[in-house]
Amino acid sequence: LFLDAPLEAGAEVPAAPGQGHYLGTVLRRAVGDPIRLFNGRDGEWAARIAGLRKDRASFVVERRLRPQAAEPDIRLLLAALKRDAMDWVAEKATELGAALIQPVFTRRTVADRVNAARLAAIAREAAEQCERLSVPRVAEAAPLHAVLDAWDAAVPLLVGDERRASPPIARVATAAGLRPPFGWLVGPEGGFEAAELDDLRRRSFVSTVALGPRILRAETAAVAGLAALQALAGD
């Protein structure tokens, strides 16, 4: 379970809101049962349930099971999508090791707002499920040009281009000897406008890449690109 509290041997720590219900009603756990905790900083810890009520629970921390490992800095930037697609991408990007999920607004982005707190909660649950010891940061949605203007030019940004005008992602990643940190940017359902692609290509850190000859849904492209990059250049 993810718990945003300092974890050390012997500490008694209160559960986060909702965890009492989750443990007691959903998982049918009881006082004294073992549980594993992480907070994104101190590694993974063995603990026991010390108190368990629907509205309040607590744990006693026992010993460290795994140290906190440095995780690859892989950043997913994607044009804001409809809620269900965004939820799905947040879950899958967490499983695939993204360190940052940055929703962006492009000219053809249809969704006009993103609930970053909701995505962060989904990312926390996905991190628990896949046993990673960190939770990706979900940034507030921002205009694409603002994110690009603030981008560190030393960090490569690969951009999904479905128009058959760009080399395959594997060729670009291999030729560049790509290693984290890097970013992966996917456009909206309607694609990038030509002027946006021109602006992207003018930036020294951008390479446009193809994920094969078929046009993928934006959410598929987000996840497929992360999987490819994870396999080619991740840890």
Q: How far is the CB of 41 from ligand SAM (least distance, A)?
A: 34
CA dihedral (111, 114, 115, 116) in degrees, to 10, reads 160
Strand partners, 27: none
Nearer to ligand SAM, 57 or 197 (CB): 197
Q: Cα 137 vs. chain centroid, distance in angstroms?
A: 7
Instruction: Tell me: does residue 123 bind ligand SAM (CB under 6 A).
Output: no
Residue 100's alpha-carbon distances to 71, 87, 139, 230, in angstroms, are 11, 15, 7, 14
**Helix, coil or strand: residue 199:** helix
State which of positions 125-164 bind ligand SAM (CB under 6 A): 160-162
Distance CA 82, CA 155 (A): 28
Residue from 197, 192, 194, 228 nearest 211 by CA: 228
Instruction: Tell me: does residue 53 bind ligand SAM (CB under 6 A).
Output: no
Instruction: Tell me: does residue 86 bind ligand SAM (CB under 6 A).
Output: no
Helix (H) or strand (E) holding 76: strand 74-79
The stretch near ligand SAM (CB under 6 A) out of 67-75, 84-92, 111-119, 211-219 is: 211-219
Among 33, 130, 212, 235, interactor with ligand SAM by CB under 6 A: 212
For CA atoms 136, 94, 44, 69, the dihedral sign is negative
Residue from 207, 216, 234 nearest 95 by CA: 234
Distance CA 171, CA 163 (A): 17
Q: How far is the CB of 35 from ligand SAM (least distance, A)?
A: 40
Instruction: Tell me: does residue 6 bind ligand SAM (CB under 6 A).
Output: no
State the number of binding residues for ligand SAM (CB under 6 A): 18
State which of positions 180-199 bind ligand SAM (CB under 6 A): 186-187, 189-192
Nearer to ligand SAM, 139 or 169 (CB): 169
Instruction: Tell me: does residue 234 bind ligand SAM (CB under 6 A).
Output: no
Q: How far is the CB of 56 from ligand SAM (least distance, A)?
A: 45
Instruction: Tell me: does residue 31 bind ligand SAM (CB under 6 A).
Output: no
Nearer to ligand SAM, 39 or 166 (CB): 166
Footprint of ligand SAM on this chain (CB under 6 A)? 160-162, 186-187, 189-192, 210-212, 214-218, 221
